[in-house]
Amino acid sequence: MESIVAIYNRAIAAKFQTAFTEQLDAEKSASWFSQFLDKVYPMFVYTEADEVIGWLSISPYRSGREALRYTVEVSYFIHPDHQLQGIGQKLLQHGLDACMGLNYKTVLAIILDKNIASIRLMEKFGFEKWAYLPGVADFDGVECGHLYYGLRL
């Protein structure tokens, strides 16, 4: 779990990769991590030499709203030293295969508009831009929008 949180905290520090602005501590991360311990909403890790260098999670979209039970959100993060090496593609393909096996019908990726690498990856996998929320995120005075990319399985 420490490696997963460390990768996420690097993304927080880099800005524009997640809307969180404060690092996860042990207490916050334990609560957050516990949601992925079942098979309905799994998390997958990518390792090299027994080191976690990337991960992907499948989360409920708008948890508790039963009409949305077949829709999930996919999130992924790669250690900065290993980005742009195809790891995100491998994790995303594995995650989409898992979504099909779990009978989900729609997969969403919610991306900050400054995260060009993630936008390109989504489009490579056939995701389409379904919504844009302009200027909703603020990073120390720098605003950016939120993009909703969707894929019907």
Domain spans in the chain, listed from the N-terminal domain onward: 2-152
- Which residues are registered as beta bridge partners of 143? 138
Is residue 12 over pLDDT 90?
no
Is residue 13 over pLDDT 90?
no
- Which residues are registered as beta bridge partners of 34? none
Pairing, β 71-78 against β 106-112: parallel
Is residue 20 over pLDDT 80?
no
| 88 CB burial (10 A radius; 0-12, 13-18, 19+) | buried
**17 vs 131, residue with greater confidence:** 131
Q: Distance between CA atoms of 79 and 141, rounded to whole angstroms?
A: 26
pLDDT at 30 (0 to 100):
66
Exposure string over 105-141, b if 16+ CB within 10 A, otherwise e = ebbbbbbbbbbeebbebbeebebeeeeeeeeebeeee
Percent of the chain surpassing pLDDT 90: 68
pLDDT at 138 (0 to 100):
94
DSSP 37: S
Q: Decide which of 3.40.630.30, 1.10.10.10, 3.30.470.10, 3.40.50.2300 is the CATH code for 2-152.
A: 3.40.630.30
Q: Distance between CA atoms of 140 and 149, rounded to whole angstroms?
A: 25
Q: Distance between CA atoms of 3 and 105, rounded to whole angstroms?
A: 31
C-alpha gyration radius of the chain: 15
